């Protein structure tokens, strides 16, 4: 989150092997403006689709993510 990366975790009992992922996929992540801490996020990889949990856990982490990381958040506040 601090670097502007969206942390996602597999649902209980799922992993890359059980989902048939190789690491060579290109992922599409369905997000909207109502992203909130702990929300379920749909991830698509080609013809596969699975649900993950967003591990943004606090409103502050959400602000960091939306701004592209901690540094960008601080810079925006300094310029305001």
Q: State the pTM of this model.
A: 0.79
Does the pLDDT value for residue 67 go beyond 90? Answer: no
d(CA 61, CA 2): 7
Question: Could you report the per-residue pLDDT of 29-54, keeping only the tens digit for each?
Answer: 988 788 899 999 999 998 999 999 99
Q: Give the mean pLDDT of 4-16.
A: 94
Pairing of strands 27-29, 8-10: unpaired
Instruction: Give 38: exposed, middle or buried? Use CB within 10 Å, 0-12, 13-18, 19+.
Output: exposed
The confidence score (pLDDT) of residue 68 equals 87
The confidence score (pLDDT) of residue 46 equals 87
Contact 56, 65 (CB under 8 A): yes
């Amino acid at each position: 989150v601090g670097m502007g990366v969206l942390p996602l975790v597999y649902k209980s009992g799922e992993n890359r092997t059980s989902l048939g992922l190789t690491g060579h996929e290109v992922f599409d992540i369905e997000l909207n403006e109502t992203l909130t801490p702990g929300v379920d996020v749909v991830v698509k990889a080609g013809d596969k689709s699975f649900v993950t949990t967003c591990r943004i856990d606090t409103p502050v982490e959400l602000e960091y993510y939306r701004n592209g990381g901690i540094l960008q958040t601080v810079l925006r506040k300094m310029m305001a």
